[in-house]
Each structure stands twice: as structure tokens, then as C-alpha cells.
Amino acid sequence: MKILKRLLTATLAVCILASMIVGASAIELKTGIGVVETGGLRLRAKPNTDAEILANAGIGDNVVIIRQVGDWYLVDYNLIVGYMHKDYLTFHDKKNVELGDAIVESGSVNLRSAPDVNSELLATLSQGETAYIIGFNCGWYKVQYNGQTGYIRSDLVALMEAPKFNAQLTVGKSPVVETMGQKIVALAQDYMGVPYVWGGTSPNGFDCSGFTQYVFKQMGYTLKRTAAQQLTNGYSVSNLKVGDLVFFTNTYATSAAASHVGIYMGDNLFIHAAGGGVKITSLDHEYYAPRYIGARRIVE
């Protein structure tokens, strides 16, 4: 117990170690809060891109991070436990966030004045009682209970509802895909992280136009090979829709009209193959915004 107390009262470095401690009921001490940085981030049953998709998170959604597993986080997203790739979450060991009600499932739980087992005892909650979570602090939930604000260890209570401001339409299932553009974007996201390879046209490695050509081909559409050539596919649009091709110039030395291409995802984001591999970027990005030259619609 003395060792456990030292862990729970330590700094951030020890907070990370504390995520590996398992409570008496086998509920783990949580590591932190993750904020989803890209729309449609997939929650998977296992830590790999071939695993079953359990849900799709919206940009800005909050997840409770249980622990890191390689390049993935094991998380609780809207009461569904699964894996999200760590590159698309921003980790916070301390954050004000409304996670909703949590329940004491067994025994009794102490409400403390600070996230420390040696801090003042404010109250004791019995089995079946609930407290409302308003924050997270290095393994502890900040809660409101009977007019008091205090802290409860995160391994001693269970969440009962999705975070207040999370998207609620995709809980427990993939979102309804209504258009071909959405299907194209969903497929494109399956290749997140595939390395950038000049001249690449397969999942072993893509360049920008090789990526768009490959994705559209899987859905039955033929695109020309280069970004400049794809600028002649479809027709020009100014009001972007999901699945449109977006084009950029002067991303490398060439006299071609377009030197880079990606697929518009909605929410001012596009997915593309670039340095670092297939990734999602904002059209407002300081590098891409001044180089944007327009969009072409291939599918309705």
C-alpha cells in the first residue's frame, strides 16, 4: 500500500506508470484524456488497421485513455472499449471535461479534496451511488457529489454515459454511409499511415495521385495518373462535397498546372499521400492554403 500511495501522489512520469496498476476489481487506473484530431477516427476491436471497426469518432470528441499499446491507445469511447491510433489523438494527463455520471459498482469509494490519497476526505460513496465527472487529473476523476467538488480514483468507478459534447450518432456502429463520396473517403481512411513513395500506386506505398487513382479505382472510377492529368477528370466545383478531388500547385518544382492532389473529407479537411505517409490535413494549413487551386467532382 505504501508503494501504491507513492505512485498515486507522484508527478506526470509516475502517472504514466500508474496506468499499469490494476485495482481489486480489475478496473484499470486510467492514463489520460484523448482529444480526437481528425473526423471519422476509427475505434477498432484490436490494435491494427485490419481489425473490426466498433465506432467512428468525430473531430474534437473526448476519449478516456486506459493505456498505450504500441502505436495505439486502448480507450473508452462513448462506453465502447477499443483501440485508436495514437497519432490522431492529443493526450492530456489533466483536462476539464464532462464525462457524465460514474457509478460505484462495489464496496465504497472515498471522495478526496485533491488527487492524492493523503488529501482531506470529503465523503464516502457506497455501492450504487453516482458522481458527475467534470475533469481528469493524473489518474483521478474530478467530480461533483452532493454539492461538493472533489476527486475519485479512476479505477474505482465505472462510466455510465458518453461525454456530454461527443458525437452521438455513431455509438457502437459505423456511421450510415449515404453517398459514394462518403464511401470513397471511408475507403481512403483504411490506408492511413501507408508510406509515401514517389511513383507509388499501391498500398505498399503511394504518391499523391497514385493514392487518389487507387482509391477511386476500388470504387469503380478511372482517374488519370498524375495530379495535373487528374485536373482534367470530372468537372470543376467551388462548393466542395465529400469525395471531391482537391488540387494544389508549387508543392515541388514543376511547370504542371497541379503538383498535388487529395480527397476532400468535409469539415475543411482532406486526406492525401504526402511526406510522412497517407494523412489528413486542413485546407487552412499554412503550407497548403496558399497553394490551393481548386477542386474537381468525380462522383455525385
Q: What is the pLDDT of residues 261-294, one digit of tens each?
A: 999 998 899 999 999 899 999 999 999 999 999 9
Domains and their CATH numbers in the chain: 2-159 (2.30.30.40), 180-297 (3.90.1720.10)
Q: What is the pLDDT of residues 163-183, one digit of tens each?
A: 877 875 444 444 444 588 988
**What's the rounded mean pLDDT across residues 23-46?**
78
CB 175 within 8 A of CB 169: yes
Which one of 85, 92, 260, 285 is the catalytic residue?
260
Single pTM value for the model: 0.54
Q: What is the pLDDT of residue 168?
A: 59
Which one of 15, 85, 138, 208 is the catalytic residue?
208
**What's the rounded mean pLDDT across residues 103-128?**
93
Residue scoring higher pLDDT (122 or 80): 122
Whole-number Å distance between alpha carbons of 226 and 228: 5
Q: What is the pLDDT of residues 181-225, one digit of tens each?
A: 988 998 898 898 899 999 999 999 999 999 999 999 999 999 999
Reply yes or no on whether the pLDDT at 2 is more than 60.
no
Task: Tell me if residue 138 is catalytic.
Answer: no
Q: What is the 3-state secondary structure (H, E, C) of 240-293?
A: CCCCCEEEECCCCCCCCCCCEEEEEEECCEEEEEECCEEEEEECCCCCCHHHEE
The percent of residues in the chain predicted with pLDDT above 70, rounded, is 87
**What cell was used for 263?**
480527397
Which one of 15, 85, 138, 272 is the catalytic residue?
272
Task: Tell me if residue 15 is catalytic.
Answer: no
